[in-house]
Each structure stands twice: as C-alpha cells, then as structure tokens.
Amino acid sequence: MDEGFHLLMNGGAMTLELGITWWKILALVAVIAATVKLVRYYRRRRREAKKSSLESIRAHFQNTIDYLMPWEDVEVEETIQERGEQEKCVAEQCPQDLPDELIEELMKPREDFRDLLFCYLNRSGRTNPEIYRAAQIDRKLFSAICTKPHYQPSRGTVIRLALALQLTLPEAMEFMERAGYALSSARPSDLVVTYYISRGVYDLMTIEAALYEIGEHL
C-alpha cells in the first residue's frame, strides 16, 4: 500500500482507498479525541470529588455550630405593631406634593420578599438549618435575610434559596421578582437554572456543574 489515496471505480461503484499515511493521520486524530474526552472526564470527576469533600466538611462544621449555638426559628408572621410602624414610616416619607392616588398606592400593605420566604419555609415542612444547608449559604446570612426587614440578599443567594425550597418555575420567578431580580432568557446562567427548575431538578451541585461548563456561576 502506498502513501496516498486513490478512488477506485468498479462498475458504477466508487471506492476510496487510503494509503498508510492517511491511516496514521486518522488513528492520530482518534487518539487525540479519546485523550481529550478522558482529560475532561477526569477533571469533572476530580471537581465533583473536591466539592463532595468540601460539602462534607462544611456539613460537619455546621452541625457542630448548630449543636453549640442552637438555632431558634424565625417567627413567620410579623406582629400587627410592626406592620403599623412600617405603614407609618411610609406615610411620613411620602412628600405631600405627590398625587393622592400614588400616596395611597405606596401606603397599601403588600407582601415583600420575607413574607414570601416565610410562606415557602412553612410549606416546605423543613427546619431553617435544613434550608440554609441545602442552599449552601451561611447561617448568619440566612438569619440576616429573615430578621432584617430591609436586608437585600444577592441574586445568587435568592436563586439558591429558590432551589433549596424546591419552588416551581412560576414560584421561582415571583420569588426573584420580590427580591428585585428576574430570571431572564438573555442570561445563559438563567437559562441553565430555569431548565433544571422546570424539570424538577434542584440539586445545587448538578446546576453548578452545568454552569461551570459554560463559564458561568450563580
């Protein structure tokens, strides 16, 4: 067999005959492709193993902290006095030259992000530590979100909470909106999140691994 390639005609059929050099090239390409796949597989397994190890250490640490400093669940309902004080503050902050209809709209009681969070916390039937561990957020951060009326959590934190609470896609979108954010099809990371939520997949490691593959993060 020579080094080139030939087209052989046999009646109406045409056959391509490759020389030794071309077979070597094809074999080399196959080896390179297999090597690339093996490297990617090894890196992915190594990353997953590293995450699993870190999660184990984090869970053990959080269990120890919760044992030494017991977590008291935040009250779900705000008191009538707190509501009255909030409405009073809004009324005092409204300039008098605003239209009456706008002032009335601003003074209407409305559910905020915390109200919705407490609602889903109650519905989940799980404890607060179970939720913030599933969301992989700090205990103090979760406490700040629940106890400080005007605390603004980050976008990634809100998504993590939505996943931990296992919200449906419409619920997750409303949850994000209450926090001042939105799930947009213009953001690749949001497409990944909505893809998994719409299919009932709430595993944070699975979603973060998919985000890592496209160079994004929560």
pLDDT tens digit sequence for 156-207 = 999 999 999 999 999 999 999 999 899 998 999 999 999 999 999 999 999 9
pLDDT bucket at 28, cuts 50 / 70 / 90: confident
Residues 93 and 60 in one domain: no
Domain count, the chain: 3
pLDDT at residue 119 in the model: 92
* 42 half-sphere exposure, CB direction, 13 A CA radius: 6
Residues 93 and 118 in one domain: no
Residues 37 and 91 in one domain: no
Residues 81 and 29 in one domain: no
Query: Would you say 127 and 73 are in contact if contact means Cβ atoms under 8 Å apart?
Result: yes
Q: Which domain holds residue 5?
A: 1-70
Residues 42 and 65 in one domain: yes
- In 3D space, the residue among 138, 134, 124, 122 whose CA is nearest the CA of residue 71 turns out to be 138
Of 10-14, 57-61, 167-171, 211-215, least confident by mean pLDDT is: 10-14
Query: pLDDT exceeding 90 applies to what percent of the chain?
Result: 39
Residues 65 and 42 in one domain: yes
Listed in order, strand segments (DSSP E) in 95-218 are none
pLDDT averaged over every residue in the chain: 76
Query: pLDDT exceeding 70 applies to what percent of the chain?
Result: 61
The first and second tokens of residue 105, run together, are 């709209």
Q: Report the C-alpha gap between 121 and 150 in whole angstroms.
A: 19
Query: Would you say 135 and 110 are in contact if contact means Cβ atoms under 8 Å apart?
Result: no
pLDDT digits 0-9 by tens, 54-78: 566 666 655 555 555 544 444 444 4
pLDDT digits 0-9 by tens, 138-170: 889 999 998 887 788 999 999 999 999 999 999
Q: Report the C-alpha gap between 52 and 58 in whole angstroms.
A: 10
Residues 202 and 141 in one domain: yes
Q: Which of residues 68 and 108 earns the better pLDDT score?
A: 108
Residues 130 and 184 in one domain: yes
pLDDT at residue 80 in the model: 36
